[in-house]
Amino acid sequence: MAAMGKARLIYCLIVFSTTFFPVFAGAGNLKIGVISNKPVDMIKNCNPMARYLECRLKGLGITGVKVVVAKDIPEMVQWVKKEVVDIVFETAFATVVMREEAGMIPKLLVWKKGVKQYVTLFFVRNDSPMTNLKDLAGKTLAFESPNSTSAYLIPKAELRLLGLTVIPLEGRARKNAVNYVFAGRDINQTFQVIQKKADAGAFNSNDWDELPEKIKAELKIIHESKPIIRFIASFHPSLSGKLQEALINHLVQMDKEPDGIKALQSASRISKIERLTDEDLKSLDYVKNLMKVIE
Amino acid sequence: MRAKLTLSKKYSLWFSVMSLAILILVMLSVFAVLWKGADTLRYTLRDATREAFENTQQTTIHNLSEYVRLQLAPLLYQTDVEKINKLIRNLGKGMPISSFRVADAAGKVLTDGTKENRSFGMALPFSEQTLKTDSVLIEKTKEGFRATFWIGIEGSTIGYGEIIFSGEPLQKAIVQAENAVVSIWQGYTKKFLTITLIGVLGIALLTIVLSIVISRTYALPLMKLRDATTKIALGNLQYRVEVSSDDEIGELAGSFNKMVEELQKRTEELEETNEALQGEIQERTLMGKALAVEKERLAVTLHSIGDGVITTDMEGRVMLMNPVAERLTGFLWREASEKPIGDIFRIYSEETNEPTADPVSIVLKSGMGIDSPGDTTIVGKSGIRLSIAHSCAPIRDSEGAIIGTVLVCRDITERRRLEKELLKAHKLESVGILAGGIAHDFNNLLTGIMGNISLAKLYTTEESDTYEWLEEAEKATLRATDLTRQLLTFSKGGAPVKKTVSIRELIMDSCRFVLRGSNVKCEFSLSPELWSTDADQGQINQVLQNLIINADQAMLEGGAITLSAENIVVGPESGLPLKAGKYVKLRIKDEGVGISKEHLPKIFDPYFTTKEKGEGLGLATTYSIIKNHHGHISVESAMGVGTTFTLYLPASEEAASRARNTGGEVFSGKGNILVMDDDPTIQALARAMLNKLGYDAVVASNGDEAIALFRSAWESDRPFDAVLMDLTIPGGMGGKEAIKHLISINRQVKAIVSSGYSHDPIMANYQDYGFSGVAAKPYTIESLSSEIHTVLEHPAS
């Protein structure tokens, strides 16, 4: 019991510090923002990157680099507005929200686990007569969870863009709508489809690639979304151009130095960081469209 | 030596061994009974342990499976494979589970808990019992235990589960229990063995002590008698055995003492006789040794003599031969012993090759010794003929009577051969002197012919027939010149008259010249940047021609001679008998019959030849020429494959372009030239040539005349610019002597030595004698003009 109490106290202190410390942070400190419901782990994982940047930005008047963790997108949007964070690493959806609502500027494309982008795949049983999304009307679709971007938000938006009604399954499936359930995890989605408890499932291409071949053989893909960038680094508009350029240069260089590679791997297994291209920015516009549909 | 056992010890040993054997047999029987009992106990305990463990394991498995079955039901119902996998993984952490599979209601595997999920879709084998009841079925398998169970809710089947439990932990526990039993059993066995061993040792010790005491009581008198026998045998005849009882052993001791007394008396008599005999033997031994020493000395002397020695008896039969005589006759002494001397010592006259009289018979008849100085050939047993000198004398006894003969002979074959060689060398030297003289005179004649031809050519045009005829005449003369030069080299092997020459042209010209009309072709592999060499063109030509002719003759059915040449730098560690420096390496390779291994080491020896008409001087001259050029020649050959000669010639320090003019260019000039030659033809020719070249020429017939003319000119206002002097003037002062006088008049004199003796050392090393140039006879107008031009262009040394 005593150990439990101690752990709770540490957690409270960390949450307290990550929530309020940025507000009172002195000049010369650079803040890296991330969103997570596990702030302790996240700070621990991102600290090597902070130390990496700290060493290299001293010449530009940066005295320290801190990691701050918001619990969700709205909180992060608030921090941006209050200038609590200078650079945020987030998903395409969160990035679009921060750009539209708080003026964050997407600058860098972040490769995670060796992947730059993903697509959302809709799949059905191999013996199913369904061939496209419109066939899903009146059927049951297994999503992963309400927090999932690739296995809930995007597929839901794709269906709505086609004019389909997407509603949760309540009792029997309604004929004129796509009736969805949450399976909890991507693997459960596949088994629900195989076991005929759902007619279709949807999740991202990376999860599909990791499925065992025997299970893949039981399924077939009927639709795939446009590619969506996996992770993006955005800068606060108040950051000076000189500091922005220095940050870009150091972050882009990280995967070429041994301590940089270690820091990237620690921070959610980032493979490398690149400058955003015009094509990448177009991809963000596509996400923006999807978000409009969801709203 | 093996220790002898006493009677007492034998008794003790026998008693001890028998007692110990009985004891060991008893102990072994007891041990076997106990061992069997303990072993049975051990296996019984093991089986009981195994059964107890298995029962416990099965109960645990049953309970666990039941628990899992209940946990899986809602998860399977919700198709929450993620949580099913988590459950499987968590169970695997605490239990010895090999595999865990969960199947759907149709019995097809949904998941095996692994990421790869290899069992997915497989049909899970179930027994009827599992399908129909909700109990857990446990089966024993090779791996351990297999638990299968039905999963459902309210009697409705939603799936099946299978868990394979590893039998390894059970097996380990059984082994541990068994080890514990064995360990206890071993402890008891060890204690039992220790007690048994101590008991056996104690009884054995007691048995030995008892046996010793008993045996000594009965064996001691006999042992005393044995000791007495030993002492008497060692010579103590005074010793007597104590008689302490009147039984059989006491009687034996009395008889023994009587026998010893008799033995003592006999021994004393024998010792006296023996002493007398010892004296006699010692005397005879001394005489025998003296005789053996004498014999040995005689044998060593005979063996050491460098001449063959044979002795005979009065009938002329061989009595003795030393090793030299054995070698000369080819017979071993033991073969020749007692055979007539005529059969062994077979001699012939060297002049007539007729058998000569046996010297032993002559000596035996005449009683006088005879001596043959060396006109005899002995024919050995194997037919080998050797030249020998021999003498024979009678052997007389102390009273002067002849009792045999001694024949002494000596091998003089090598001496004979050297005498013949010397004779041959003397003959060849005479021929050489003659050839050299002829060549010199011939050269003078050729100088006249060639000089006139070259002069005549200057007065004709190259397009005219006359010019062509003169060219042919000149070529013939040149060949005649080469012949005389070869003749000189052959006869005396003189020092080379070196000039900087291109070896490439020599090789090609020689090969084409020799192989003209032959069915053998020449193949060249010559380095393009081949260095020049300082060589006597004529001598090197001779070398090349000799080698090419030999190669040609070795290939009767035609073929190719490969001539290759390259530049090499020989270092101090090259292993070649050459000074370190630059060399041109030539290889002349044929595809001929080859030279036998037997002949190969001799081919450079003078007079060695395998040709029917050869003199054996070609390769000897070749060798001599290459040596005189400070070069080296070697040969490799294999029968049926061919022969390769390799030559090394020192490279010239000067570039080939420095080579003197031999290409037909005529150098004109101006000046006053003194010509000294005894031959009027040469005088006239030289004058004509020099005039034609633009010089003024004054001639002298000998050294005295030349010195006078030179001095006079030197003192006048028109001294000679150069002097052309013949090396030898018959009956007068030649160039060698005259140049000394000219130098005393003018140290800067520019003199050219000229001679038909091109082998003369002065011609080769003219600068050492004060000359500035050399003009070998016969010379052409081109070569003469070139030499004068060179001498006048360069300051005198």
Chain B contacts of A214, Cβ < 8 Å? Answer: 117-118, 120-121
Which of B79, B82, B120 lies closest to A212 in CB terms? B120
Report the chain A residue with the minimal C-alpha distance to residue B113.
Answer: A187
Cα separation, B787 vs B771, in Å, equals 12
Pick among A145, A148, A187 to test the B interface (most B CBs inside 10 A): A187
Q: In Å, how far from its chain's centre is CA B619?
A: 29
pLDDT for A2 equals: 39
| Alpha-carbon gap: B116 to the closest alpha carbon of chain A (Å) | 5
Cα separation, B579 vs B586, in Å, equals 17
Shared domain for A192 and A180, answered yes or no, is yes
- Which amino acid, residue B292? A
| Contacts of B690 by beta carbon, 8 Å cutoff, 6+ apart | B673, B675, B696, B697, B784, B788
Least confident of A175-184, B235-244, B282-291, B583-592: B235-244
pLDDT for B203 equals: 76
pLDDT for B573 equals: 77
Q: Do B507 and B563 touch, CB atoms closer than 8 A? A: yes
> Tokens representing A123?
């799949």
Shared domain for A123 and A253, answered yes or no, is no
Residue A149's φ and ψ, nearest 5 degrees, are: -80, -50
Cα separation, B524 vs A139, in Å, equals 96
Shared domain for A134 and A90, answered yes or no, is no
pLDDT for A103 equals: 94
Question: Has residue B120 got a pLDDT over 80?
Answer: yes
Cα separation, B376 vs B347, in Å, equals 6
Is residue A6 assigned to a domain?
no
pLDDT for B351 equals: 82
Shared domain for A245 and A102, answered yes or no, is yes
C-alpha distance from residue B72 to each of B89, B100, B162 (Å): 13, 12, 12
If you average pLDDT over residues B320-331, what whole number do you get? 92
- The CATH number given to B672-793 is 3.40.50.2300
If you average pLDDT over residues B10-20, what whole number do you get? 72
Question: Has residue A27 got a pLDDT over 50?
Answer: no
Question: Has residue B661 got a pLDDT over 60?
Answer: no
Shared domain for A219 and A79, answered yes or no, is no
Least confident of A56-60, A85-89, B411-415, B573-577: B573-577
Cα separation, A193 vs A176, in Å, equals 20
Is residue A263 assigned to a domain?
yes
Which of A183, A188, A214 lies closest to B121 in CB terms? A214
Which of B81, B116, B118 lies closest to A191 in CB terms? B81
Which of B79, B120, B121 lies closest to A197 in CB terms? B79
* Total number of domains in chain A: 2
Cα separation, B85 vs B91, in Å, equals 10
Size of interface A-B (CB pairs under 8 A): 35
pLDDT for A82 equals: 93
Classified as helix, coil or strand, B754 is strand
Cα separation, B81 vs A192, in Å, equals 9
| Contacts of B792 by beta carbon, 8 Å cutoff, 6+ apart | B669, B671, B721, B722, B750
Pick among B75, B76, B79, B158 to test the A interface (most A CBs inside 10 A): B79
pLDDT for B47 equals: 79
Q: Does A214 touch chain B (CB under 8 A)?
A: yes
Q: In Å, how far from its chain's centre is CA B147?
A: 80
Shared domain for A234 and A206, answered yes or no, is no
Classify domain B305-411 at the CATH class level.
alpha beta
Residue range A149-207, pLDDT digits in tens: 889 989 999 999 999 999 999 888 898 899 999 998 999 999 999 999 999 999 999 89
Residue range A243-258, pLDDT digits in tens: 999 999 999 999 999 9
Q: Which pairing describes strands B751-755 and B773-776: parallel, antiparallel, or unpaired? A: parallel
Residue A152 DSSP code: I
Is residue A4 assigned to a domain?
no
Shared domain for A236 and A102, answered yes or no, is yes
| Contacts of B601 by beta carbon, 8 Å cutoff, 6+ apart | none
Q: Does B120 touch chain A (CB under 8 A)?
A: yes
If you average pLDDT over residues B415-442, what whole number do you get? 70
| CB neighbour class for B527 (10 Å; exposed up to 12, middle 13-18, buried from 19) | middle
Q: What percent of chain B has pLDDT over 90?
A: 18
Residue range B226-247, pLDDT digits in tens: 787 888 778 777 777 777 777 7
Q: Does B84 touch chain A (CB under 8 A)?
A: no
Q: How confident is the model at residue A81 (pLDDT cuts 50, 70, 90)?
A: very high
Range of the domain at A158: 117-228
* CA neighbours closer than 13 Å in the CB half-sphere of residue A40: 8
Question: Has residue A271 got a pLDDT over 80?
Answer: yes
Residue range B195-224, pLDDT digits in tens: 878 877 887 788 777 777 766 666 666 777
Q: B672-793: same fold as B431-658?
A: no
pLDDT for A136 equals: 95
* CATH topology (fold) of B431-658: Heat Shock Protein 90 (3.30.565)
Residue range B684-706, pLDDT digits in tens: 888 888 988 899 999 999 999 99
Residue range B525-570, pLDDT digits in tens: 888 888 888 888 878 888 898 899 888 888 888 888 999 999 999 8
Q: What percent of chain B has pLDDT over 70?
A: 89
Q: Does A185 touch chain B (CB under 8 A)?
A: yes
CATH code at A215? 3.40.190.10
Is residue A286 assigned to a domain?
no
Q: Does A148 touch chain B (CB under 8 A)?
A: no
Chain B contacts of A144, Cβ < 8 Å? Answer: none
Q: What percent of chain A has pLDDT over 70?
A: 91
* CA neighbours closer than 13 Å in the CB half-sphere of residue B765: 7
> Tokens representing B284?
């005879």
Burial A83-115 (b: 16+ CB within 10 A, else e): bbbbbbbbbbbbbbbbbeebebebbbbbbbeee
Question: Has residue B486 got a pLDDT over 70?
Answer: no
Is residue A33 assigned to a domain?
yes
Highest mean pLDDT pick, B54-58, B388-392, B601-605: B388-392
B32 vs B391, more confident: B391
Question: Has residue B464 got a pLDDT over 90?
Answer: no
Q: Where are the beta strands (DSSP E) in B571-682?
A: 581-589, 632-638, 642-650, 672-676
Q: Does B117 touch chain A (CB under 8 A)?
A: yes
Q: How confident is the model at residue B424 (pLDDT cuts 50, 70, 90)?
A: low
If you average pLDDT over residues B385-403, what whole number do you get? 90
Quote the mean pLDDT of chain B: 82
Shared domain for A80 and A131, answered yes or no, is no
C-alpha distance from residue B545 to each of B493, B588, B618 (Å): 16, 11, 10
Q: Which of A104, A94, A198, A212 is nearest to A153 (CA)?
A: A94
Pick among A214, A216, A218, A219 to test the B interface (most B CBs inside 10 A): A214
Q: Where are the alpha helices (DSSP H) in chain A?
A: 2-24, 39-57, 73-81, 92-102, 154-161, 186-194, 205-209, 213-216, 241-253, 258-266, 278-294
Single residue among A213, A228, A243 that ends a domain in this structure: A228
Shared domain for A147 and A160, answered yes or no, is yes
Domain extents in chain B: 7-173, 305-411, 431-658, 672-793
| Alpha-carbon gap: A147 to the closest alpha carbon of chain B (Å) | 17
Cα separation, B605 vs A165, in Å, equals 120
Q: Do A18 and A39 touch, CB atoms closer than 8 A? A: yes
pLDDT for B492 equals: 55
Residue range B618-640, pLDDT digits in tens: 787 788 788 878 898 888 999 88
Shared domain for A139 and A181, answered yes or no, is yes
Classified as helix, coil or strand, B454 is helix
Q: Which helix (H) or strand (E) holds A124?
A: strand A120-125
Interface of A with B in 110-139 (CB under 8 A): none
Residue B149 DSSP code: E
- CB atoms under 10 Å from CB of B172, counted, come to 11
Question: Has residue B1 got a pLDDT over 50?
Answer: no
A214 to B80: CB separation less than 8 angstroms, yes or no: no
Is the reported ipTM for this assembly greater than 0.85?
no
Shared domain for A22 and A62, answered yes or no, is yes
Which of A187, A210, A214 lies closest to B82 in CB terms? A187
Classified as helix, coil or strand, B642 is strand
C-alpha distance from residue A61 to each of A235, A243, A246, A250, B164 (Å): 18, 9, 12, 15, 64
| Alpha-carbon gap: A82 to the closest alpha carbon of chain B (Å) | 41
Q: Does A184 touch chain B (CB under 8 A)?
A: yes
Cα separation, B392 vs B372, in Å, equals 9
B549 vs B261, more confident: B549
pLDDT for A105 equals: 95
Burial B723-760 (b: 16+ CB within 10 A, else e): bbbbbbbeebbbbbebbebbbeebeebbbbbbbbbbbb
- Which amino acid, residue B441? D
- The CATH number given to B7-173 is 3.30.450.20
Q: Return the axis-axis angle of helices B735-745 and B703-715, rounded to nearest 10°.
A: 20
Dihedral angle over CA of B703, B709, B714, B717, nearest 10 = -160
Shared domain for A195 and A245, answered yes or no, is no
Quote the mean pLDDT of chain A: 88
Which of B79, B115, B116 lies closest to A191 in CB terms? B79
If you average pLDDT over residues B11-30, what whole number do you get? 76
Q: Global pTM?
A: 0.41
Q: Does A195 touch chain B (CB under 8 A)?
A: yes
pLDDT for B325 equals: 93
If you average pLDDT over residues A133-155, what whole number do you get? 92
